[in-house]
Amino acid sequence: MSEQGLQIHLRQVAPIPLDAEMFCARGELHALVGPSGSGKSTILHAIAGLMKAGEGRIACDGVTWFDSGASVSLSPRQRRVGVVFQQYALFPHLSALENVMEALLELPGSQRKLKAENWLERLHLRGLAHRRPAQLSGGQQQRVALARALAREPHALLLDEPFSAVDRITREVLFEELAELRRELHMPVVLVTHDLDEALMLADRMTILAQGRTQQTGAPIEVITRPNTAHVARLVGQKNIFRGGVVEHRVERGVTVIEWRKRRLQARLQPGFASGEQVTWTIPRSHLVLALAGPEGHAIDENRISGKVAALVRLGENAILSAEVDGAGRPPVFLSVPLHVVQSKGISVGTDIEFSFLAEGIHLMPVDRR
């Protein structure tokens, strides 16, 4: 593995169990995603030097920051890490300019002021330099915190749930600004979040954590649509998780045939599972297509299934349907359908529907014994 980047391998039993490993390259944004208590912030604090892990190693660009075996543990100042916390951690009695200047104490006063002003300008805070935090909006406070973190030219930037305290519209603006800014930053950026949409929009790669353990790392869309295990599938919000059996592989057609509830379904080719093997499988809601009659209807017959709508929840411009297949006693199938289709077709609870599982979206995993 290249030494250019941030390498983390941490283990401990208490106070918070950890067995985590990840790598963040220079210029990459790597999201740490997991439920509350999964160890995300603990790992971030260990990287920053704000806490000392039981054992392991942290290195950045070939420089060892922490190595339990070699008794190395650099201070936060020696690591030169920029950290942005969820609640900003600005000094309330200082102006925006003075808050940023606090990160530049090693420079002469005139240089500190000029550099701080430049960073406020880059973070779209022109004209706000002399306001105190209480006089700034949540988004403006977040920009000041980011300017302070970047002003000292850190070797790595750590973001701890940085957008959770602002409203949705402000959050989307900050997403765009961070995406624009990070193209200029040639450093590892680690983002702690519990929000999968945030990771999808911002991250190059993400690591799923649960109970302090690394579960899976990869491109966000890859992890979400092709989880390694049923446990990861649940952690990334997959609702369609079922049991089945592998029937055969049709290599020439690029498909694997599985049996589910006495039906045969075609999935994309996954020859790592043997014929006759029991598996758990999942499919994202985006890969289920409602079969419609009429000129606008879909003519997809692939893996076509009949069901009855058991529940319907409106979610923005879409509706999430829960469909019973083979009666109410089995786990339902979840579909996402445009709201205008639901309304125009008069779909409601109790409506009989037909839909298709798109083969490309059916992903096989080792059998889940739960």
Is residue 294 predicted with pLDDT exceeding 70? no
Peptide bond into 338 cis (omega under 30): no
Instruction: Give the pLDDT of residue 181.
Output: 82
pLDDT tens track for 147-185: 999 998 899 999 998 887 777 788 788 888 888 887 788
Per the CB < 8 A criterion, the answer to whether 52 and 128 are in contact is no
Could you tell me which residue, 205 or 110, shows the higher pLDDT? Answer: 205
Instruction: Give the pLDDT of residue 358.
Output: 95
Least confident of 1-15, 168-182, 225-239: 168-182
What is the Cα Rg of the chain in Å? Answer: 25
Half-sphere exposure of 15 (CA within 13 A, CB side): 4
Query: Residue 332 to residues 91, 277, 350, 364: CA-CA distances in angstroms?
Result: 51, 23, 13, 18
pLDDT mean over 243-249? 97
Is residue 87 predicted with pLDDT exceeding 90? no
Query: Residue 14 to residues 18, 131, 146, 175: CA-CA distances in angstroms?
Result: 8, 43, 32, 35
The alpha carbon of 263 is separated from its chain's Cα centroid by a whole number of angstroms, namely 34
**With bands split at pLDDT 50, 70 and 90, how would you rate the model's confidence at 370?**
low
Q: Which residues contact 237 (CB under 8 A, 6 or more apart)?
A: 196, 224
In the structure encoding, which two tokens stand for residue 304, read together? 């076509």
Q: In this structure, how many other beta carbons lie within 10 angstroms of the beta carbon of residue 33?
A: 28
Q: In this structure, how many other beta carbons lie within 10 angstroms of the beta carbon of residue 135?
A: 12
Among the listed residues 164, 303, 294, 215, the one whose alpha carbon sits nearest the alpha carbon of residue 32? 215
Q: Which residues contact 223 (CB under 8 A, 6 or more apart)?
A: 206, 208, 216, 217, 232, 236
- Rounded to 5 degrees, what are φ and ψ at 217? -130, 140
Least confident of 16-30, 165-179, 345-359: 165-179
Rounded CA gap, 18 and 229, in Å? 20
What is the pTM (predicted TM-score) of this model?
0.89
